[in-house]
């Protein structure tokens, strides 16, 4: 109700804003202007952006450097901008032809950046927005374009959670603001999405990261974890067809393999921990089976992309097709994606434009057999993979895991994939001078299918399947969004004003359907349909996700005085269906101010200093990333009981989890201060930002005691967290003759601190490993800090055991923990803070060189100051899994180690959470190394090709780290569980060769 009443008020104020706009009714007609744009040497510049100042009316120059566009009158100012050249603003002064010469510059200030619901000149920005352009995005060979952000924009952390083909990395903007769902949202051509797996790199024109509250506040409840705006490529008006073809292919292999004990070493350790020797002749064991070798491979991947774009004065078009085909480094896994995109605009009349951005994607993938990475890690190396008779070795007796090679044969059919149609259609109306109205309908619709088949097989008593079985699942999701905005733009002498208002609604809905049957009538793929199974064994399910709905009103004003003082105010009111009716509405204001000090008379003529701008901003953002139903618990069905002489299954249902009807918005208030500075004609630039973000009422599923009896943890508005940080970016570029070079350095320093935990008490604990919570979140410490025992040494003898009494029985050779509270006995009270999973520093270093036709680039990135819990090493499970070679340093009579304990197979104290399993997570990685050669123009022009470049590129070539796992990048979507390595699909290093040409 609260929301309703305010709506009325809000709509009234919108009307007033309209009224103000209409005071400037001014009809106008259209006049055509054309000309040619060249550089200082007289060579035509292709693709120069020509814009009527303060409007969206513009065109691009064609292959001959010619442009043509309609202007409302002959007194307008045209803005000519081109990357790498100084922009020019020229008043038409009644001319209808205007030839322009642009001079090369490293001045980038007039670059246009995309912001929420519009665009702005970079120099006009008051908020903090990081941009990355298409060339950068294409440098990293990956199915997911967010990989390209890694090490490129200060304050953006990208963690490749796994090397599984097609899998999305985890993205964090400016640290971890929240305890839950800390991922940013993506806005693709205006469409708000949580996931952008369907986009391919070649289609992207730019990605902008809205980092501070001022930039992101226009997204209100969705913006608390940052916003990434993605703009896809468009055609340009009045240009002939441009054909771009890109192709590359390459190979991937695991970036690193783990050091595990071989058969002889494993046998030795097994004998040592068993009462009587299991292996009588250790020498006979040899090196045994290297299971990692058995499951990994050198995997091929390739990408082909063809794009055709152009336009007349009536329309623009861009059509592209892309095929991304990736085999996984684990045998049997792959990810193939085919996509088609059509982005067109149509000028219906001088003041009406309609258009659409449509993308259709089809994907087909196969997932590796379940648990195979862990099984290869744990499998008994004394067992053979396959013996001479073709029988699979038995890895279940000692290590108690499935034979990974047999899994590749029997559990390898796990298909998934589907179709996605995403895009929008819009209409732009320019009814009056200074006013632009836009309405856009967006949609995103998936149809996903999965199918997995397991034949009848027998490997051993534990690894077997007596009946073939088929599972199928279908799901479909349909989201739509309707956005309406009105923009008013006006210059009054020294004042420049832009007002934007808008109304948006969004809805998400989904359904799923699936089933299984056993005893298929055939074992080959053409039988993988439920109808081919025995109907008596049928199971099925069908259901729907609770719909999610949003309704929002938004407003933003930008004001510039003398182009020196810039002010932005924005406000958004959001309603979300995820909350109870009492807590539904939320208000999200922001305010920002920037001062272009360089424009002051005092500095204007200062030699050397080419730019100086100060910025400060404040704003409130929200986060509602909780599952629907978190506020009201749902009844779980099919909790059936067995009764009666026929032993019938009698339906049962109940509440098994608790929910919280008082849930409300999580809010974050952030303050940002920073400056941009440029020297030597902006050859050297720096951007520095300092921020303070307080997130209150954080939404999190709180681990609660088991005695509460809830089968899941209820969400509560639990904690207040502060992120303080510093983002620095330095760029330098220069040119000496034919030699161009450019480098950039960026770093972000984050201090994450929990302020209070509200009603949940003094601490939040999560992730039970071997009977202990491994992480502790408490005021004064970073979120999800590691908590456990500190190792002081190893009990050397019975004397030691007496000297350092332990609450639990210990033996010589066991880890000796520090008596933290010095009460004379080692017990649970001696556990303490062990370190933070959040890096203190994220940094990157990029270098680009070019000489004549050759180009070279190298990108490095790294993190410093975080810890990783090597949890896979702590897992001893049901048997005696294989050991990491570090266990060979064990304490024993011949090796009285004071750092490594005797060999045991789980239990206190050697396998509980202690810093023995905590490792330094810092790393420095050569992420990209690329070289390219563009063929000389005189050579290729004869072949009717404009440009032709061949290139080679390597990704993840070297990583310098102390961490012993597959990769030090260990992420998690849940921030209470970050930095815990449970054995993941390893990261791969890749080398690709490719060609790109432009006709």
**What gap in Å lies between CA 896 and CA 693, rounded to an integer?**
50
Q: How far is the CB of 908 from other proteins (least distance, A)?
A: 5
Q: In the range 865-894, which residues lie near other proteins by CB under 8 A?
A: 876, 878-880
CA nearest neighbour of 375 among 21, 945, 878? 878
Q: How many CB atoms lie within 10 A of CB 156?
A: 26
* DSSP designation for 885: G
CB 325 within 8 A of CB 336: yes
Tell me, residue by residue from 519 to 538, as one string, x for binding to other proteins by CB under 8 A and - for no binding: -----------------xxx
Q: What gap in Å lies between CA 558 and CA 123, rounded to an integer? A: 13
Nearer to other proteins, 249 or 713 (CB): 713
* CB 502 within 8 Å of CB 557: no
- Binding positions for other proteins, 169-198, rule CB under 8 A: none
Tell me: does residue 19 bind other proteins (CB under 8 A). no
Q: DSSP labels for 757-810? A: -GGG-S-EEEEEETTEEEEEE-TTS-TTEEEEBPEEEE--SHHHHHHS-BSS--
Binding mask 337-376 for other proteins (x = CB under 8 A): ------------x-x-------------------------
Structure tokens at 951: 């290139």
Tell me: does residue 912 bind other proteins (CB under 8 A): yes
In the complex, least distance from residue 272 CB atom to other proteins, rounded to whole angstroms: 13
Show the site string, 26-65: x = touches other proteins by CB under 8 A, - = not: -x-x------------------------------------
The rounded distance, in Å, linking the Cα atoms of 128 and 215 is 6
Least separation in angstroms between residue 651's CB and other proteins is 6
CB 813 within 8 A of CB 794: yes
Binding mask 699-738 vs other proteins (x if CB under 8 A, - otherwise)? ---xxxxxxxxxx--x-x----------------------
CB 44 within 8 A of CB 65: yes
Q: Which is nearer to other proteins, 135 or 534 (CB)?
A: 534
Nearest distance in Å: CB 549, other proteins: 5
2-10, 187-195, 232-240, 728-736 -> range binding other proteins (CB under 8 A):
2-10
821 binding other proteins? (CB under 8 A): no
Question: Closer CB to other proteins, residue 579 or residue 691?
Answer: 579
Q: Can you say whether residue 575 is alpha, beta or left, with left for phi > 0 and alpha for psi between -120 and 50 degrees?
A: beta
Question: Are 758 and 720 within 8 A, CB to CB?
Answer: yes
Phi-psi label, residue 865: left if phi above 0, alpha if psi -120 to 50, beta otherwise? left
How far is it, in rounded angstroms, from Cα 119 to Cα 556? 13
The beta strand positions in 285-412, using DSSP E, are 299-311, 315-327, 334-349, 352-366
Q: List the one residue out of 323, 368, 330, 150 whose CA is nearest residue 253.
A: 330
How many residues make contact with other proteins (CB under 8 A)?
Answer: 118
824 binding other proteins? (CB under 8 A): no
Residues between 219 and 258 that touch other proteins (CB under 8 A): none
Instruction: Choose, by CB under 8 A, the member of 763, 847, 931, 952 that binds other proteins.
Output: 763
Query: Which residue's entry shows tokens 């299971």?
Result: 291
What is the C-alpha to C-alpha distance for residues 808 and 826, in angstroms, rounded to an integer?
8
The minimum distance between CB 439 and other proteins, in angstroms, equals: 6
Token digits for 564? 């020196």
Site string for other proteins, 547-566 (x = CB under 8 A): xxxxx---------------
CB 907 within 8 A of CB 814: no
Is residue 773 at the binding interface for other proteins, with CB under 8 A as the rule?
yes
We find the least distance from the C-beta atom of residue 659 to other proteins, in angstroms, to be 7
Rounded-to-integer distance, Cα 766 and Cα 645, Å: 45
Report, in Å, the least distance between residue 163 CB and other proteins: 30
Residue in 205, 308, 425, 505 binding other proteins, rule: CB under 8 A: 505
β-pair type (469-492, 495-518): antiparallel
With CB under 8 A as the contact rule, which of the stretches 204-212, 306-314, 643-651, 977-985 interacts with other proteins?
643-651
In the list 772, 848, 855, 920, the residue contacting other proteins (rule: CB under 8 A) is: 772
Beta bridge partners of 361: 339, 420
- Of 7 and 740, the one with the shorter C-beta distance to other proteins is 7
Taking the least distance from each CB to other proteins, the nearer of 135 and 511 is 511
259 near other proteins, judged by CB under 8 A: no
Interface residue with other proteins among 635, 737, 802, 942 (CB under 8 A) is: 635
Residue 809 interacts with other proteins (CB under 8 A): yes or no? yes
List phi, psi (to 5°) of 185: -100, 160
Nearer to other proteins, 389 or 647 (CB): 647
CB of 15 to other proteins, least distance (A): 7
Out of 38, 445, 546, 796, the only residue in the binding site for other proteins (CB under 8 A) is: 546
Q: Does 279 sit near other proteins (CB under 8 A)? A: no
CB closer to other proteins out of 253 and 657: 657
CB of 532 to other proteins, least distance (A): 16
Instruction: DSSP letter for 827, please.
Output: S
Side-chain-facing half-sphere of 723: CA atoms under 13 Å:
33
Residue 673 within binding range of other proteins, rule CB under 8 A: no
If the CB atoms of residues 11 and 738 are measured against other proteins, the closer one turns out to be 11
Positions 369 through 408 that interact with other proteins (CB under 8 A) = 397-400
Cα separation, 581 vs 761, in Å, equals: 27
Q: What CA–CA distances, in Å, run from 14 to 441, 568, 584?
A: 21, 18, 22
Q: Binding to other proteins (CB under 8 A): which residues in 826-865?
A: 828
**Is residue 484 within the footprint of other proteins (CB under 8 A)?**
yes
């Amino acid at each position: 109700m609260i929301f309703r009443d305010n709506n009325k008020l809000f709509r009234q104020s919108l009307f007033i804003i309209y009224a103000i706009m209409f005071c400037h009714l001014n009809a106008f007609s259209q006049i055509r202007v054309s000309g040619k744009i060249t550089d200082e040497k007289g060579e035509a510049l292709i693709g120069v952006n020509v814009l009527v100042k303060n409007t969206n009316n513009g065109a691009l120059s064609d292959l001959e450097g010619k442009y043509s566009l309609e202007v409302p009158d002959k007194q307008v100012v045209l803005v000519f901008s081109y990357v790498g050249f100084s922009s020019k603003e020229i008043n038409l002064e009644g001319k209808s032809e205007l030839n322009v010469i642009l001079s090369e510059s490293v001045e980038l200030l007039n670059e246009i950046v995309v912001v929420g619901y519009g665009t702005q000149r970079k120099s006009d920005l008051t908020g903090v927005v990081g941009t990355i352009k298409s060339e950068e995005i294409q440098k990293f060979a990956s199915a997911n374009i967010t990989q390209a952000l890694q090490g490129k924009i200060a304050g953006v952390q990208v963690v490749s959670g796994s090397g599984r083909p097609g899998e999305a990395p985890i993205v964090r903007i400016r640290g971890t603001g929240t305890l839950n769902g800390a991922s940013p949202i993506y806005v693709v051509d205006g469409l708000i999405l949580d996931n952008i797996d369907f986009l391919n790199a070649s289609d992207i024109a730019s990605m902008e990261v809205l980092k501070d509250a001022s930039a992101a506040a226009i997204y209100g409840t969705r913006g608390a974890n940052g916003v990434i705006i993605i703009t896809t490529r468009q055609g340009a008006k009045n240009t002939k067809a441009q054909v771009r073809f890109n192709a590359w292919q390459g190979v991937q292999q695991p970036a690193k393999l783990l050091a595990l004990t071989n058969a002889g070493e494993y046998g030795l350790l097994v004998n040592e921990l068993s009462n009587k020797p299991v292996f009588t002749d250790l020498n006979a064991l040899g090196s045994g089976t290297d299971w990692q070798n058995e499951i990994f491979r050198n995997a091929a991947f390739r990408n082909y992309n063809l794009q055709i774009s152009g336009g007349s004065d009536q329309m623009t078009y861009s059509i592209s097709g892309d095929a991304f085909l990736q085999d996984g480094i684990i045998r049997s896994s792959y990810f193939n994606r085919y996509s088609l995109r059509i982005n067109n605009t149509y000028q219906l009349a001088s003041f009406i434009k309609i258009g659409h951005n449509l993308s259709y994607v089809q994907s087909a993938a196969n997932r590796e057999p379940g648990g195979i990475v862990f099984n290869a890690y744990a499998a008994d190396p004394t067992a053979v993979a396959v013996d001479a008779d073709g029988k699979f070795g038995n890895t279940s007796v000692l290590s108690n895991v499935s034979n990974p090679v047999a899994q590749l044969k029997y559990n390898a059919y796990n298909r998934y994939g589907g179709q996605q149609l995403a895009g929008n259609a819009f209409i732009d109306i320019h009814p009056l001078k200074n006013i632009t109205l836009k309405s856009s309908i967006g949609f995103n619709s998936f149809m996903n299918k999965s199918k997995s088949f397991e034949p009848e097989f027998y490997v051993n008593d534990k690894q077997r399947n007596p009946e073939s079985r088929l599972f199928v699942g279908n799901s479909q999701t349909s989201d739509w969004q309707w956005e309406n905005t009105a923009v008013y733009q006006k210059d009054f002498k020294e004042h420049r004003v832009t007002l934007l208002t808008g109304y948006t609604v969004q809805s998400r809905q989904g359904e799923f359907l699936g089933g299984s049957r056993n005893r298929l009538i055939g074992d080959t793929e053409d039988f993988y349909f439920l109808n081919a199974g025995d109907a008596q064994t049928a199971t099925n399910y069908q259901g729907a996700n609770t719909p999610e709905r949003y309704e929002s009103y938004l407003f933003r004003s930008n004001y510039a005085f003398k182009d020196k003082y810039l002010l932005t105010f924005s406000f958004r009111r959001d309603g979300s269906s995820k909350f109870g009716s009492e807590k539904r509405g939320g208000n999200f204001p922001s305010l920002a101010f920037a001062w272009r000090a360089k424009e002051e008379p005092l500095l204007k003529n200062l030699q050397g200093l080419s730019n100086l701008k100060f910025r400060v901003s404040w704003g409130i953002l929200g986060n509602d990333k909780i599952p629907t139903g978190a506020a009201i618990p749902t009844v779980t069905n099919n909790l059936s009981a067995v009764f009666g002489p026929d032993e019938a299954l009698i339906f049962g249902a109940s509440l098994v989890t608790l929910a919280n009807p008082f849930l409300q918005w999580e809010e974050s208030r952030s303050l940002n201060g920073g400056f941009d500075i440029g020297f030597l004609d902006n050859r050297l630039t720096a951007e520095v930002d300092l921020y303070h973000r307080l997130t209150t009422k954080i939404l999190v599923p709180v681990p609660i005691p088991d005695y509460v009896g809830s089968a899941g943890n209820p969400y509560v508005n639990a904690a207040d967290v502060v992120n303080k940080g510093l983002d620095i970016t330095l760029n330098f570029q220069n040119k000496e003759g034919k030699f161009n070079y450019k480098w950039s350095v960026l770093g972000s320093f984050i201090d994450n601190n929990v302020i209070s935990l509200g009603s949940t008490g003094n601490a939040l604990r999560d992730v039970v490993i071997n009977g202990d919570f491994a992480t502790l979140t408490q005021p004064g410490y970073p979120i999800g800090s590691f908590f456990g025992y500190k190792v002081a040494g190893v009990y050397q003898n019975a004397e030691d055991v007496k000297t350092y009494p332990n609450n639990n029985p210990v033996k010589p050779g066991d880890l000796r923990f520090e008596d933290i509270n010095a009460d004379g006995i080692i017990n649970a009270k001696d556990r303490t803070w062990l370190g933070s999973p959040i890096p203190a520093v994220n940094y990157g270093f990029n270098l680009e060189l070019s000489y004549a036709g050759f180009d070279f680039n190298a990108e490095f990135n790294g993190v410093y100051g975080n810890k990783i819990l090597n949890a896979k090493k702590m897992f001893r499970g049901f048997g005696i899994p294989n050991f990491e070679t570090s266990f060979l340093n064990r304490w024993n009579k011949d090796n009285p180690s004071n750092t490594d304990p005797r060999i045991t197979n789980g239990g206190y104290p050697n396998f509980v959470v202690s810093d023995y399993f905590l490792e330094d997570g810092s790393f420095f990685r050569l992420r990209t190394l690329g070289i390219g050669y563009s063929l000389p123009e005189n050579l290729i022009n004869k072949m009717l090709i404009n440009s032709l470049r061949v290139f080679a590129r390597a990704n993840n070539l070297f990583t310098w780290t102390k961490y012993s796992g597959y990769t030090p990048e260990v992420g998690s979507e849940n921030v209470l569980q970050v930095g815990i390595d449970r054995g993941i699909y390893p990261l791969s290093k890749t080398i690709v060769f490719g060609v790109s040409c432009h006709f």
